[in-house]
Structure 1
Amino acid sequence: MKSNIGKLIKDSKFKRDYIQKEMGVSRNTISNWSQGKTNPSADQLFKLARLLEVKVDDLYEEED
């Protein structure tokens, strides 16, 4: 699976600091999610999708 979180955050109307604060996670955690090094929990996926105004499916895409 390829993470689209970094691109979605970059394209978002919110700054990373705001997203970090709203999600209750560290800057490092947001960075790791963006780079696909770690993945949000199921609860965090839904919260992040709501915050970014996207569907949970948009956060990742399948790779062949």
Structure 2
Amino acid sequence: MWKCNIEQLIIESGYRKDFICKKLDITYRQFRKYEKMELFIPMEKGLLLAELLNCKVDDLYERKVD
């Protein structure tokens, strides 16, 4: 199982989601798919998002161990 940390990281960053979408060159709908884990973020977008949020790429998602 995986947990998405993107929403929390954005809240902590103080950025607005529309700003993040513009920087990643994606639609808000596409962004929501990443947040809801309908899709994993592609590596190039993940690297850019991690840079924007001042975190590591592996901070975006967290593996839950049962």
- Gaps in structure 2 of 5+ consecutive residues: none
Task: Give CA deviations for 1:11-45 in whole Å, capped at 9, x if unaligned.
Answer: 22211111010000000111111111111111111
Question: Normalising by the residue count of structure 2, what TM-score does the alignment of the two structures yield?
Answer: 0.86
Structure with max Cα Rg: 2
- Gaps in structure 1 of 5+ consecutive residues: none
Identity fraction in percent? 31
Question: Normalising by the residue count of structure 1, what TM-score does the alignment of the two structures yield?
Answer: 0.88
Number of residue pairs the alignment of both structures matches: 64
